[in-house]
């Protein structure tokens, strides 16, 4: 019996089956490559859904983590620690905002944004208590908590987890008219992904984000951009909103902010928004801990160089040029995305997204399917052009293209 089969059987026996992983067991990873328990190597073209934008075992990030591990790792927010102010100052500056509220996971940051918008609505905008509404988009993915799945349109994510949290209005993504109709005097926020990742890397029509910006400003509603997956370099800019010259009121960040080392998330906004919180009204034991701050500070410093955004732009153009050559050839029906991020719709005659992902794995390339016949490609931004080309060659081979 193989080591891989044994490990998978043990995992299946003793873990809840809330995931359906590809059948490999990773033992180590470096840069863009992972090695399994039997010594086989795989090119990582998923990058932990963008949590690994800077690659596995990134030297700068590991060194920053190791140095902090030796000093102090957790204080709780009961005390100040000496990395906290730098982290908040630097992250606020990266976002062009004034204040940061640190959490750990993406879902917690979204929850924090929801609470921020409601409190702002009652205390600043003057919405009657208990009547705040937040407008969201269909096919969204914002996380897995009971409140967040309450406004999901995905049956797998939502069904049998009720009763659901009220106060959310769902409109079609990319439809400004529908959004304008949904906004009332009790609307406190519009919450959107600037590019919908889980939905298949859906880029909204040109003018949508700037339209949302204009509408929310006119109607005194907060524009909250969930940049957890789209942000921090992935699309070729620090934030995907930048492609339309849009600055939202609230950035929701996660995934790559922790450099693939520790979970770090945050809500970032100006004082007139995040200033609504007073001591005791919100918090997290681990949020803003010294280790998280040390790693995130290094992530922010790396983003400040612009190097990773540049790589995503340049290699992204190459990736999309190559993928678009496959469209219409019978294997691929559509390609979407921006930067080093692509949703590839496979013609169902070539297999399901899952089948394609498994065949690619056998050739040493790791991607993940989403929604039936779509595969998602999001390699670490440190990938070399040679490795990217090799990965694309394996894709062409699997697709018979």
Ligand X SMILES: *Cc1c(COP(=O)(O)O)cnc(C)c1O
Q: Which helix (H) or strand (E) holds 369?
A: strand 368-370
Q: Which of residues 105-124 bind ligand X (CB under 6 A)?
A: 105-107, 110
Centroid of chain to Cα 129: 32
Q: Is 119 one of the annotated active-site residues of the chain?
A: no
Stretch that binds ligand X, among 140-148, 238-246, 337-345, 364-372 (CB under 6 A): 140-148
Q: Which of residues 23-62 bind ligand X (CB under 6 A)?
A: 49
DSSP state of 29: E
Q: Is 255 one of the annotated active-site residues of the chain?
A: yes
Query: In angstroms, what is the minimal distance from the CB of 49 to ligand X?
Result: 6
Judged by CB under 6 A, which of 44, 90, 226, 387 binds ligand X?
226
The residue among 227 and 322 lying less far from ligand X, judged by its C-beta, is: 227
Stretch that binds ligand X, among 14-22, 199-207, 226-234, 387-395 (CB under 6 A): 226-234
Catalytic, out of 36, 255, 345, 368: 255
| Residues 252/134, Cβ–Cβ less than 8 Å | no
Structure-block tokens of residue 174: 């990319």
Stretch that binds ligand X, among 136-144, 215-223, 279-287, 290-298 (CB under 6 A): 136-144
Stretch that binds ligand X, among 122-130, 141-149, 178-186, 306-314 (CB under 6 A): 141-149
Q: Which of 101, 127, 147, 129 minimizes the C-alpha distance to 278?
A: 101
Q: Is the peptide bond before 279 cis (omega within 30 degrees of 0)?
A: no
How many Cα atoms occupy the beta-carbon half-sphere of 67 within 13 Å?
Answer: 12
Q: Which of residues 183-202 bind ligand X (CB under 6 A)?
A: 193, 197
DSSP-derived pairing of the beta strands 99-103 and 133-137 = unpaired
Query: In angstroms, what is the minimal distance from the CB of 74 to ligand X?
Result: 19
Query: In angstroms, what is the minimal distance from the CB of 202 to ligand X?
Result: 12
Catalytic, out of 84, 97, 168, 226: 226
Q: Is 141 one of the annotated active-site residues of the chain?
A: yes
The DSSP result for 383-396, as a single string, is --HHHHHHHHHHHH
| Residues 134/117, Cβ–Cβ less than 8 Å | yes
CB-based contacts of 315, cutoff 8 Å, min separation 6: 340, 381, 383, 385, 388
Q: Which of residues 246-275 bind ligand X (CB under 6 A)?
A: 254-255
Judged by CB under 6 A, which of 229, 235, 313, 373 binds ligand X?
229
Q: Which of 113, 199, 197 minimizes the C-alpha distance to 154?
A: 199
Which residues here bind ligand X, judged by CB under 6 A?
49, 105-107, 110, 141-143, 193, 197, 226, 228-229, 254-255
List, by residue number, the catalytic residues.
Answer: 141, 226, 255
């Amino acid at each position: 019996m193989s080591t891989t089969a044994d490990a998978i059987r043990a995992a299946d026996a003793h873990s809840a089956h809330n995931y359906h992983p590809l059948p490999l067991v990773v033992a180590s990873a470096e840069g863009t490559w992972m090695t399994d328990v039997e010594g086989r190597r795989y090119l990582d073209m998923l990058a932990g859904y963008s949590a690994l934008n800077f690659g596995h075992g990134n030297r700068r990030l590991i060194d920053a983590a190791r140095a902090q591990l030796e000093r102090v790792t957790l204080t709780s927010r009961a005390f100040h620690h000496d990395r906290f102010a730098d982290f908040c100052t630097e992250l606020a500056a990266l976002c062009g905002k004034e204040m940061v509220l640190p959490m750990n996971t993406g879902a917690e940051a979204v929850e924090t944004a929801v609470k921020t918008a409601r409190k702002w609505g009652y205390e600043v905008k003057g919405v009657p208590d208990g009547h705040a509404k937040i407008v969201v988009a269909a096919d969204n993915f914002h996380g897995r908590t009971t409140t967040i799945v309450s406004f999901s349109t995905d049956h797998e994510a939502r069904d049998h987890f009720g009763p659901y949290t009220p106060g959310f209005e769902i409109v079609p993504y990319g439809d400004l008219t529908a959004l304008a109709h949904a906004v009332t005097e009790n609307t406190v926020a519009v919450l959107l992904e600037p590019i919908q990742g889980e939905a298949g890397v859906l880029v909204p029509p040109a003018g949508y984000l700037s339209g949302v910006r204009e509408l929310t400003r006119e109607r005194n509603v907060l524009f909250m951009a969930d940049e957890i997956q789209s942000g921090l370099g992935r699309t070729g800019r620090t934030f995907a909103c930048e492609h339309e010259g849009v600055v939202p009121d609230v950035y929701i960040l996660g995934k790559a902010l922790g450099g693939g080392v520790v979970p770090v998330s945050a809500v970032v906004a100006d004082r007139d928004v995040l200033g609504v919180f007073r001591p005791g009204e919100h918090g997290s034991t681990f949020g803003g801990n010294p280790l998280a701050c040390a790693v995130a500070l290094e992530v922010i410093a790396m983003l400040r160089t612009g190097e990773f955004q540049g790589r995503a732009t340049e290699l992204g153009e190459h990736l999309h040029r190559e993928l678009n050559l496959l469209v219409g050839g019978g294997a691929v029906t559509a390609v979407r995305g921006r930067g080093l991020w692509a949703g590839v719709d496979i013609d169902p005659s070539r297999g399901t997204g899952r089948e394609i992902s498994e065949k690619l794995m056998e050739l040493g390339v790791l991607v993940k399917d989403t929604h039936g016949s779509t595969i998602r490609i999001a390699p670490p931004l440190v990938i070399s052009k040679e490795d990217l080309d090799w990965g694309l060659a394996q894709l062409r081979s699997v697709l018979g293209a």
